[in-house]
Structure 1
Amino acid sequence: MENFSPWSALAGGALLGLSAAVLMLFSGKVAGISGIISGLFTRKKKEFSWRLAFLTGMVLSMFILQPFSIDLPELIKQPVLSIIAAGFLVGFGTRLSNGCTSGHGIIGLGRFSKRSITATLIFMAAAVIVVFIRSRLGVL
C-alpha cells in the first residue's frame, strides 16, 4: 500500500466499470476475465477475435500507462513458485465459484445477482483474512 491514492483507485474502478459496461452494451458479453481467457481455448465461432482483442488491450494498457508514471505491481520480486501457486489457487477458486472477481464483483453486482453477491462477500472476507494473517503474523 505504498502508493495508494483514493483518486487513482476511484479512477481505476470507474475505468473497469466503464469497460465492462461498454462490452456489455455493444456485444452483450460479460467482462469476466476468467471466462474470456477460458473462451480462447474453446474456439467457439465468432468468439475468438473479441476475446483476443480484449486481452490484448489489457496487456497493451501497461505500455499506454507508462508515460503517465503509473506504477504497476512488480511480480519479479516475488518467488516464481509463489506466483505459480497463486495462479493455480485463483484458477481453482474461479472454477469453484463459477466466475472470477471481475465477473462477479463488477458485472454480477451491477445486475444484483444473488450468486455474485454471495461470491463477492466470500472473496472479500478471504482477502481480509489473508491481509490480516500476512500483516499481523507474517505468514503466507
Structure 2
Amino acid sequence: MQPLNFVAGDATNPQAKGPKVIAHICNDLGGWGKGFVLAISRRWPEPEREYRRWHRERAGNDFALGAVQMIRVQPDIWVANMVAQRGTKRGSGGPPIRYDAVESCLEAVAEHALAGGASVHVPRIGCGLAGGTWERIEPIVSKTLGARSVATTVYDYG
C-alpha cells in the first residue's frame, strides 16, 4: 500500500523524477473550457485537441463514461483525460460526477502507470465543477492507485 502524498502546488508541474501521469476528469459532452482543463491547456495544446477529436469521432471509438485517453505531452509526462462526469450541471440525478466511472478510469490509469513505471499526479479530482466530495474520491484513489503501490501525489493549488 502506497500512501497518498499531499502537497501544495500545481498538478500541471508534477514534482517527481521519472515518468509521470497527470490525471483529470472530463465530461461526457465534449466540453472543455472550465476548471482544471484550463491549466492543462495553458501548458500543452494536445490534451484538449485530442479530447475534442475523441468526442467528435465517438461513434467509432470508446468515448464514454469510464474511458481514458492517454496523451503524451513531454517525453516523460502523459495527461490522462478521464471521462467521469455526466454532463456539466447538477440535476435531479445529483452532481455530474460519476464515482463508478472515476474508479474505472483510475484502474486504467494505474495499469498505464504500472506498465511504464510512472507516478500519478492529480488535483482533487471530481471535487470542483463535477460536484463530488473528497471524502468519496479519496478512498477510490487509494483503492485503485495506492493499494497497487502507484506513487500518487494530490495537489492543492494556491
TM-score w.r.t. structure 1 length? Answer: 0.29
Bigger Rg, structure 1 or 2: 1
Specify which structure has the higher proportion of helix: 1
Specify which structure has the higher proportion of strand: 2
TM-score w.r.t. structure 2 length? Answer: 0.27
